[in-house]
Amino acid sequence: MTFISLLQQKLQAALLDLALELPEGFTVQVTASQDTNFGDYQANTAMVLAKRLKMNPRELAGQIIEAIDIDGLAECEIAGPGFINFRLTPKAWSHKVEAILSDDRLGVEAVSSVRNIVVDFSSPNVAKPMHVGHIRSTIIGDTLSRVARFLGHNVIADNHIGDWGTQFGKVIYGWKNLLDEAALKEKPLAELLRLYKSVHDSTKADEALEQLCRDELVKLQQGDEENLKIWKICVELSREGLQKIYDRLDIKFDYSLGESYYNQQLAGTVDSLVEAGLARESEGAICAFSGGQLADKKDPFRINRDGEWQDIPMIIRKKDGAFNYATTDLATVDHRLKEWKADEMLYVVDARQASHFKQLFDITERRGLDVKMEHIAFGTINGKDGTPLKTREGDLPQLEDILSDAVAAAAEVLEEKSGHLPAEEKAALAEAIGIGSVKFTELSHHRASDYIFDLDKMVALQGDTAPYLQYSYVRVKSIFKKLEQLPDFNALAVEVTEPAEVQLIRMISRYGEVIPAVMDGYKPNTLASYLIELARSFHSFFEACPVLKSEGTVQETRLALCEATSRVLEHGLGLLGIQAPKRM
RNA sequence: GCUCCUAUAGCUCAGCUGGAUAGAGCAACGGAUUUCUAAUCCGUAGGUCACAGGUUCGAAUCCUGUUGGGAGUACCA
């Protein structure tokens, strides 16, 4: 049990003893103290309660402290306007070290109610290689999947690949008219991209061409043999290319059901919405409109134009008969509910699609489907000038190139610092550090904000970076390497005394509090910054408390702390999808 | 126009379901290495939390307004 829940229990019991009339739904809150001068944990219960019960907060805090039974666990005192501060005893810390070492879950409790959570992330388009824009969804989605799974949920990671949308009409048109067979053999993905871009550029000034592309899409969706054949080849080629990157990133999906997977259901989906009265014909298209329950301002189907509120429908069948992503998304919801019994669906998708998801969620609710849906929105990755990242040619940088750049930068530093290591190991390390850097940079930012992509800073070895964490792990491990024999970690005598030791176990013990908090608001950066703090505490401990030169209980305590640190570090990095090397 | 996101140290960013003296990294300055990997640690300096009101014991955090930045806004995803 985490210290927070333990202290909350104790507080709750004390309140019960005092026989106070608690307001309905009142729960006690305990938080880690920001400043250790105030102790380890604090509760504002007395202040909150005093206000509601019209009592004096400090007086109430005094009563609570009298009633609370935490002998041996913590000392507590009243402070300031009525805070109750808890300072854990050395014994409590020592027990915690032992508890963590004997616990596979490192103090993280599994959830009591397991939910089926679908995480929809990455979602690249075929025929277009992944670019910088896919970093965020792919990495955030992967981490959230890992964390939810570790918490005990039944996670279904689904890569909703864009293989059926309008862009495909352009690819098919290009294939039929501009295909360079030799180039296709040589570099298939580059050729597909060239076809798409070439046609896409031409359509900007050519309305007739745009129409031809739309026609190709309609033919495809209606089962035209030639178009289907082209489509199949493109999808296969693209998937191979995508898989290579996912392998490199160590990211796995349970399913990669592309938009095309739902093709057979699309017509039925539209029909059922029409039958349910949720959609109707408008300007030749079939659209879903507002349910009318919300105020215009809050209604995702309403928009104000020049002072007038108008409908902004969700189009589920275009006037040319083709379906679009809205239709597919609706069908996908049905599939996930029916086949996977989803309790929750998380869409890790760019913030720019917020209004689309609001509409989708609103419709789903109006259809009477019971499922929690969340749009895990994120911002843009910008270049150093603060505008969206672009290559010199003005294109979006490809993900593969970004990874290679990061790995190359890591290799350079590695050569300088650890030139003596075998070439093969250096290559693997560069990969781990380079990829880890990209991932950590992503995960250490709040997902909603934009951030600046600075390769040099990412791979830099100082500061809040992946290599800093990885180096911390290497440092712990180096201690054990010097031991002739590893101790039995469950049989160590642990007596935490030194401030640096206390600070370290304080951080270690917080792991069980941090992991559930990640899913609370779906913020991986909570875990990222926790790991930095943990690593920092470890480095301080490492400098202040010699392990191998100490003896007896002191040494056993420190070995136990080191082991616990290494386990939490490795595990936490694992949840972020980052490797923890044994040496570097 | 309307909706959503956003504004915190010179730079890059945390902190936001209200809590005590607003944190970290980089850059700057000073120190630590015959000692478990110095890719480290310890310290100094650096702030009108965009601005103005409000809510209350208490606001970077919640509410209202203003300003700056970004995004979306009928058949693209």
Neighbour-count burial of A350, counting CB atoms closer than 10 A to its CB (0-12 exposed, 13-18 middle, 19+ buried):
middle
CA distance A501 to A90: 10
Q: Is the ipTM of this complex over 0.85?
A: yes
Whether the predicted pLDDT of A104 surpasses 70: yes
pLDDT of residue A294: 84
Neighbours of A306 (CB within 10 A): 5
pLDDT tens profile A49-82? 988 888 889 999 999 999 999 989 999 999 988 9
Residue A139's H or E segment, with its range, is helix A133-150
Q: Which positions of chain B lie under 7 Å from any protein Cβ?
A: 1-7, 12-17, 19-21, 23-27, 35-42, 56-58, 70-77
* Amino acid A7 CA to nucleotide B65 C1' distance, rounded Å: 42
Whether the predicted pLDDT of A411 surpasses 80: yes
User: Which of A221-225, A244-248, A308-312 holds the top average pLDDT?
Assistant: A244-248
Whether the predicted pLDDT of A461 surpasses 70: no
* Amino acid A540 CA to nucleotide B34 C1' distance, rounded Å: 22
Which 518-537 positions of A have CB less than 7 A from strand B?
520, 523, 525-526, 529, 532, 536
pLDDT of residue A234: 92
pTM: 0.95
CA distance A509 to A283: 61
CA distance A70 to A574: 35
Long-range CB contacts (within 8 A, 24+) of A89-94: A90/A495, A90/A496, A90/A497, A90/A502, A92/A3, A93/A496, A93/A501, A93/A502, A93/A505, A93/A506, A93/A509, A94/A494, A94/A495, A94/A496, A94/A557
Residue A215's H or E segment, with its range, is helix A207-221
pLDDT of residue A384: 75
pLDDT of residue A311: 92
Long-range CB contacts (within 8 A, 24+) of A307-315: A312/A355, A313/A282, A313/A287, A313/A288, A313/A289, A314/A287, A314/A288, A314/A356, A314/A359, A314/A360, A314/A363, A315/A285, A315/A286, A315/A287
pLDDT of residue A560: 97
Q: Is any atom of strand B within 7 angstroms of residue A417's beta carbon?
A: yes
pLDDT tens profile A566-577? 999 999 999 999
Q: Is any atom of strand B within 7 angstroms of residue A167's beta carbon?
A: yes
* Diameter over CA atoms, chain A: 84
Q: What are phi and psi of A445, to 5 degrees?
A: -95, 150
Out of A172-181, A332-341, A387-396, A404-413, which region has the weakest mean confidence (pLDDT)?
Answer: A387-396
Which 242-301 positions of A have CB less than 7 A from strand B?
259, 282-285, 287, 297
pLDDT tens profile A417-456? 888 999 999 999 999 999 999 999 999 999 988 888 877 7
Query: What totals of helices (H) and strands (E) does chain A contain, helices first?
Result: 21, 15
